[in-house]
Amino acid sequence: MSEVGKPGRQLTSGTNVPEGQNRVALNETEPVFAQYGEKMIEQDLVELTLSHALEHGGDFAEVFAEDKTSSSAVFDDGKVEELTSGRSRGVGVRVVVGETTGFAHTADLSETGLLAAAEAAGAAARGGGGGVRTVALNPTTAPRPNEVLVQPNDVPKGTKVGLLERAEAAGRGAGSEITQVMARYGDSRRRILVANSDGIFTGDDQVKTMFSVSCVATGDTGMQTGRESVGHTIGFELFDAHDVEAIARRAATRALTKLAAVPAPSGEMTVVIGKGGGGVLFHEACGHGLEADAIKKQASVFAGQMGNKVASDMVTLIDNGTMSEEWGCYAVDDEGHAAQSNTLIENGVLTDYMWDLLRAKADGRESSGNGRRQSYQCLPMVRMTNTYVTNGEDEPEDIIASTKNGIYVAQLGGGQVNTVSGDFVFGMTEAYLIEDGKITAPIREGNLIGNGPEVLTRIDALGNDFAMGSPGMCGKDGQGVPVGDGTPTLRVTSLTVGGAAA
Amino acid sequence: MDSEQLLGVADQILGWANDDEQVEVVVVHGRDSEVRAYGGEIESLTTAESQGVGIRVIKDSRQGFAYAGTLDPDVLGETLRDARDNATFGTPDEFLALTEPDGVEIPKLDLVDPEVTTFPTERKIEMAIELEKMVLAGDPRVVGVEVAEYADAYNTGAVVSTTGIRSVGSETSSYVVAYSLTSDGEDTQAGFGYSVGKGPGAIDLDKAAADAVDRGTRLLGATKPKTEKLTIVFDPYVTAQFLSIIAGTLTGDVVLKGRSLFADRMGETVGSPLITLVDDATNPEAFSATEADGEGLATRRTGLIEAGVLQSFLHNSYTARKAKAVSTGSAVRGYSSTPSVGAMALALTPGTKSQAELIADIPNGLLVQGVSGLHSGVNAISGDFSTGAEGLMIRNGELAEPVREFTIASTLQRMLLDVVAVGGDVEHLPMSAAGLSLVVSDVTMSGA
């Protein structure tokens, strides 16, 4: 059953295993397209498809091919539940005529399949100018954010299962109140080829590896949960830098701590957010509102605000798709544009929005490399990559010590925004009361709510301890893409905490 | 591809099964189209065909799984080999086995509207453009339409196994959805409206447009309310989301793994006597009605809570075997996953009052029109419930000023017990639960 499409935007903190990707370590000098392009579709067939797509007219045509493989393994309830291998491969063809886009996709990579998709996508252009268009492709490559040292596909499945067993034992061993542990491993390799009638012919090879542990602790007050995840755009070398037992212990400790949690307070109060996690706040408070598709439709509170002061002086917000190894990085976006680092807010002043190809063309500018799609079955749109606030000058301890009363949020659990009103929520999955400048009792889970433009101006302290947060999946209009975010410790003078305590 | 062709692909794979293993094949094929209008023109027109296969192998009480988003003959064999190899790494589990036919006859439901295949693209375009026009014309305060869309789908799926399962079925759906942008000169808001059915003939553009206009305009000028405890009315759309969360705590999977609030509560009172909750995918009125579950067993009606008393959990064949119960035909899955357990078409037994009548009984309360952050502020294991919300205050039995930027919070356990009225305004929604207005007392509204 299809779901009703709606322009909802929400961020889920890394629960999802990436759908499937893995890759081959390439020689740096070897053009990317030569590896993937030829493997997926020959250049002359790509050119033929583009010409065919424009046969009935049209301003622009694009071929996007994708080959994804993935593997995942789940250890739950004391056993390896299952290993899953996945494969998906196909092509999406887009034809743009004026303001209209025609799109078709197929899993059939033969000439017949490609031309049929081109025909269907070109149907939107029927009645247009027509005539023969020759498309000359210009193969290019963009530097990859980082290399992949160990292809997950080359790692024996037994080794992956071994990680899960170790994590589960460590989780169980963290305390007798730990009553359930689930550990999840996932890797994926996503190879893409992008070609369009502007002559772009490029590709990318994206490998991601992730690991997460969820624990349940049971006490007198019922059950509590704790979760921890790590994920990077690298191969199996992820586990050289991250110890799965430590990941499990952090998840278990969260659940155990919350057994003593008091009901979360309710109402407006000062909120301090620990390093890393605060990125979710910016993702929701302004990230989505700075996407050019929302701006174009006047569906964002940040439309018409360019050059205006939109945040506290200390806020500099960057979206950076080139950020080495981070969850939202890539060489080229899903429209063939090289990833780049874009400053969105500088010292509180709005300096740019994020752009995809069509929105940029309409505005007579370059794409900012933010055109992304969940898969070949989807049209690209403006999406974030790794979104973060740069360091401030405050010592994190001082921020807490100078907060009379409020709450301290150590881990956030995703969020959601209405870009039209600017109202956004984000969840707290590990949080404490601050009383007289000290972190005290743990509190139960809940959402916090604020209004983006208001909250940005209420940031009155920014730490010098920048860190990236957990890997996330950002959902928009039914499409999920991996994103990263980060912040130093920060303080918001007033946010509404949505607890049940009266 | 039609049913026979899908069964053909599945049978071909079963033919490769070894004698010492059980093999289950799920094959799906879908065709869908989507038209979006913007500014009186087509913004995008998408046509797509998708297919996929998922293969589960159980050997020596170990399970492995693999899937592919294609039915290319060269990929099918590879996928089976992957599933077989994956099985060697599973932990042996005596309860792992594929189900056999359980004797429950598969219901014959009329879930295909053939018009989905013949409805011309030009008409789809007209509907999307017309919907946009209607929303714009609906109220002078509508300043834009972010999305106006028509979409339809025709999906066919088959499940076949070496243990005698052989089920195949098709379903169609059509829907329109619109998102309005409204402004009173100062404040800007958004509102959605939709209409769904098995085919284009069931689509009600007037309703979709009117809802998008009404939801968008009635929030204009909304302010942040003060923090207080009060009685809330969930709009049908919100109730449906709430029911889905409740059902998630009643599946055999979470019960057996010690992740359910209600694991030890069978036969006990868990809700208000007004709560009678069933899961029934055989109701053809339900958007998510279907004849067979993800393991090819007949769907059926399962009473979960009756007059507040917990009656049953939901099971697939694995959780049923382990819990010494019987499958409730509740295996849910796509081709890319093994069967989990879930509700398919939830429904509360309705009361008799309209939403207006329910509101008339409330001296001080809140109508919740929409919620946000259900995934980030609700923990179905601990029961903590906290969500962003927007809606209208209720004063002396009447809708009053709009409010926004606040949360509502309680616990799932308490909310079930605190239900004080159930509306008669059943609405079938594009989700796995039907909606109606639900009145819950003693909820914390956190605002200023």
pLDDT digits (tens, 9 = 90+) for A240-258: 999 999 999 999 999 999 9
Q: What is the pLDDT of residue A500?
A: 87
Q: What is the pLDDT of residue A141?
A: 85
A123, closest residue in chain B (CA to CA): B45
pLDDT of A12 strictly over 90: no
Range in A131-145, A326-340, A356-370, B322-336 with the lowest mean pLDDT: A131-145
For chain B, the structural domain boundaries read 3-217, 222-448
Distant-in-sequence, close-in-space partners of B195: CB < 8 Å, separation ≥ 6 = B175, B176, B202, B203, B204, B205, B207, B208
pLDDT of A6 strictly over 70: no
pLDDT-based confidence at residue A123 (cuts at 50, 70, 90): confident
Q: What is the pLDDT of residue B370?
A: 95
- Please indicate if any CB of chain B lies within 8 Å of the CB of A225: yes
Nearest beta carbon to residue B32 from set A2, A418, A424: A2
Q: What is the pLDDT of residue A74?
A: 97
CB contact under 8 A, A99 and B39: yes
Helices A157-173 & A244-258 angle (0-180, nearest 10):
30
Burial class (CB in 10 A: 0-12, 13-18, 19+), B82: buried
Q: Which residues does chain B have within 8 Å of residue A476's beta carbon, measured at their own beta carbons?
A: none
A444, closest residue in chain B (CA to CA): B384
Q: What is the pLDDT of residue A39?
A: 61
B5 CA to chain A: closest CA distance, Å?
17
CB contact under 8 A, B51 and A73: no
Nearest beta carbon to residue A158 from set B71, B89, B224: B89
Distances (CA, A) of A44 to A62, A109, A135: 14, 14, 10
pLDDT of B340 strictly over 90: yes
Half-sphere CA count of A428, side-chain side, radius 13 A: 30
A266, closest residue in chain B (CA to CA): B446
Q: What is the pLDDT of residue A290?
A: 97
CATH architecture group of domain A9-258: 2-Layer Sandwich (3.30)
Distant-in-sequence, close-in-space partners of A111: CB < 8 Å, separation ≥ 6 = A45, A48
CB contact under 8 A, B89 and A223: no
Nearest beta carbon to residue B386 from set A89, A158, A499: A499
What DSSP assignment string belongs to A248-296?
A: HHHHHHHHHHHTTPBPPPEEEEEEEE-TTTTHHHHIIIIIGGGBHHHHH
pLDDT of A21 strictly over 70: no
| Beta partners for residue A87, in sequence order | A69, B68
Nearest beta carbon to residue B376 from set A161, A225, A427: A427
- Please indicate if any CB of chain B lies within 8 Å of the CB of A107: yes
CB contact under 8 A, A266 and B444: yes
pLDDT of A23 strictly over 60: no
CA dist A366 and A360 (Å) reads: 6
CB contact under 8 A, B47 and A104: yes
Q: Which residue has the tokens 């005596």?
A: B94
Contact A116, A106 (CB under 8 A): yes
CATH architecture group of domain B3-217: 2-Layer Sandwich (3.30)
Q: Which residues does chain B have within 8 Å of residue A12's beta carbon, measured at their own beta carbons?
A: 375-376
Q: Kindly state the average pLDDT of the residues A332-357.
A: 98
CA dist B187 and B183 (Å) reads: 6
Tokens of B1: 């591809």
Tokens of B111: 């879930």
pLDDT of A103 strictly over 80: yes
- Please indicate if any CB of chain A lies within 8 Å of the CB of B237: no
Beta-carbon pairs below 8 A across chains A and B:
309
pLDDT-based confidence at residue A82 (cuts at 50, 70, 90): confident
pLDDT of A3 strictly over 60: no
Phi, psi (rounded to 5 degrees) for A8: -75, 155
Q: What is the pLDDT of residue A131?
A: 55
**End-to-end CA, chain A:** 41
> Which of A449, A458, A474 best probes binding to B when mutated, by most B CB atoms within 10 angstroms?
A449
Phi, psi (rounded to 5 degrees) for A196: -145, 170
CB contact under 8 A, B68 and A1: no
Nearest CA-CA partner of A233 in A412, A67, A468, A9: A468
Mean per-residue pLDDT of chain A: 90
What count of other Cβ atoms lies within 10 Å of the Cβ of residue A295? Answer: 23
CA dist A466 and B123 (Å) reads: 54
CB contact under 8 A, A84 and B51: no
For chain A, the structural domain boundaries read 9-258, 266-498
Q: What is the pLDDT of residue A32?
A: 39
Q: Kindly state the average pLDDT of the residues B205-222.
A: 97
pLDDT-based confidence at residue A178 (cuts at 50, 70, 90): very high
Q: What is the pLDDT of residues A135-155, one digit of tens each?
A: 778 888 888 899 999 999 999
Half-sphere CA count of B287, side-chain side, radius 13 A: 25
Nearest beta carbon to residue A216 from set B151, B190, B259: B259
CA dist B261 and B254 (Å) reads: 9
Nearest beta carbon to residue A1 from set B288, B388, B390: B288
Q: Kindly state the average pLDDT of the residues A348-370.
A: 97
Q: Kindly state the average pLDDT of the residues B148-154.
A: 97
Half-sphere CA count of B91, side-chain side, radius 13 A: 14
Nearest beta carbon to residue A423 from set B90, B192, B388: B388
What count of other Cβ atoms lies within 10 Å of the Cβ of residue A423? Answer: 27
Q: What is the pLDDT of residues A476-485, one digit of tens each?
A: 999 999 999 9
Q: Kindly state the average pLDDT of the residues A215-226.
A: 95
Q: What is the pLDDT of residue A501?
A: 81
CB contact under 8 A, A421 and B47: no
Report the alpha-carbon angle B240-B243-B244, nearest 5.
Answer: 90
Q: Which positions 89-148 of B are in contact with A (Cβ < 8 Å)?
A: 89-91, 93, 121, 143-144, 146-147
Contact B219, B390 (CB under 8 A): yes
- Please indicate if any CB of chain B lies within 8 Å of the CB of A162: no
Q: Kindly state the average pLDDT of the residues A37-51.
A: 84
B262 CA to chain A: closest CA distance, Å?
11
A271 CA to chain B: closest CA distance, Å?
15
Q: What is the pLDDT of residue A9?
A: 67
CB contact under 8 A, B256 and A258: no
What ipTM describes this predicted complex? 0.93
Q: What is the pLDDT of residue A28?
A: 31
- Please indicate if any CB of chain A lies within 8 Å of the CB of B32: yes
CB contact under 8 A, A423 and B405: yes
CA dist A24 and A21 (Å) reads: 11
pLDDT-based confidence at residue A2 (cuts at 50, 70, 90): very low
Q: Which residues does chain A have within 8 Å of residue B188's beta carbon, measured at their own beta carbons?
A: 301, 420-421
Contact B28, B156 (CB under 8 A): yes
Tell whether the torsion through CA atoms of A307, A311, A312 and A315 is positive or negative: negative
Residue A16 DSSP SS3: coil
pLDDT of A8 strictly over 60: no
Q: What is the pLDDT of residue A57?
A: 86
pLDDT greater at residue A129 or residue B136: B136
CB contact under 8 A, B431 and A377: no
Element (H, E) at A61: strand A60-76
pTM here? 0.93
What DSSP assignment string belongs to B372-414?
A: E-HHHHB-TTT-EEEEEEEEEEEETTEEEEEEEEEEEEEEHHH
A242 CA to chain B: closest CA distance, Å?
23
Q: What is the pLDDT of residue A125?
A: 65
pLDDT of A441 strictly over 70: yes
